[in-house]
Amino acid sequence: MKQLVKEYIGIIIGALLIAIGLYFFWAPSNLAAGGVSGLAIVLKALFPIVPIGILIFILDCLMFMIGFIMLGKSFGLRSLMCSLSVSVLMTGLEFIWPNWQPISDDLLILLIFGALFIAIGQALVFNLEASSGGTDIIAKMITQYTHLNIGTSLMIADMIVVLLAMGIFGLEKGLYAALGVLITTNLIDYLISGFNVQRYVMIIPSSSDKVQPINTYILETLERGATIYTAEGAYSKNPKQVITTVIDRKEFIDLKRKLIKIDPLAFMTVQNLHEVVGEGFKVK
């Protein structure tokens, strides 16, 4: 239950970042860089009386029906929560700061900063197995059934919206929107990869009596598995016991501190792993 609450808080934070990027940076400049939000920006130009948050929510409804059917109840419920949060937050921002004007005349600045907020928010939401709605759901389905990464799938869905926006706002705004799609999708891939980075750690204790304390710390304190095997030094020809384990970033910091206390002469190498599948990690 506690973990579920944390995940929902994370989804709301992601939704807030998305809403900030849209309302303060993209929407005032008609930068319809893909997604249902981009389509809502186009519709806002045609129907200025309707709040953009309401437009986003209406457009998401159809997508969620598809999401429930194709991706399962859990994904749909989490995504519905995120979409509702984005819609409510967008409407709230519009109420607090009505008729918000672009903070700069430089479209590139608005594009980049909007992309940063939106990409961080979407990456956080995707990492929690949800979606901010709309074409994100379509992208998730493309990823599930074609094994394309999520960024590429988003690009395919978003470029369709960009073409529509180009017809309404003109070629220049359309090109900026296309650039926004490229920036956002690549940032999302990069950030999701960073969220899921694990550490593969190999430790060679300086003496055999240090092996058990290190192994015990990994098993009992970090509650992670470990493998111990015997290797031979290429120069000394002496047998050495080697401990290997896979842990997350926080656990690695704890292990490194503990290792300095237990065996400051231990040899340790670390590699980043961008995907780990199995017990204790992701299960597919």
Domain boundaries, the chain: 2-195, 198-273
Highest mean pLDDT among 55-64, 80-89, 116-125, 272-281: 116-125
Please state, as a whole number, how many other Cβ atoms lie within 10 Å of the Cβ of residue 153. Answer: 23
Q: Tell me the mean pLDDT in the region 250-274.
A: 93
Q: How confident is the model at residue 74 (pLDDT cuts 50, 70, 90)?
A: low
Q: How confident is the model at residue 20 (pLDDT cuts 50, 70, 90)?
A: very high
Q: Tell me the mean pLDDT in the region 178-192.
A: 87
pTM of the model: 0.73
Tell me which of 221 and 140 has the higher pLDDT. Answer: 221
Q: Tell me the mean pLDDT in the region 184-200.
A: 84
Q: Tell me the mean pLDDT in the region 148-172.
A: 82
Of 21-30, 121-130, 198-207, 233-242, the poorest mean pLDDT is in 121-130
Please state, as a whole number, how many other Cβ atoms lie within 10 Å of the Cβ of residue 141. Answer: 19
Per-residue pLDDT at 76 exceeds 70: no
CATH topology of domain 198-273: Alpha-Beta Plaits (3.30.70)
Tokens of 145: 């059934």
Q: SS3 sequence, the chain?
A: CHHHHHHHHHHHHHHHHHHHHHHHHHHHHCCCCCHHHHHHHHHHHHCCCCCHHHHHHHHHHHHHHHHHHHHCHHHHHHHHHHHHHHHHHHHHHHHHCCCCCCCCCCHHHHHHHHHHHHHHHHHHHHHCCCCCCCHHHHHHHHHHHHCCCHHHHHHHHHHHHHHHHHHHHCHHHHHHHHHHHHHHHHHHHHHHHHHCCEEEEEEECCCHHHHHHHHHHHHHHCCCCCEEEEEECCCCCCEEEEEEEEECHHHHHHHHHHHHHHCCCCEEEEEEECCCECCCCECC
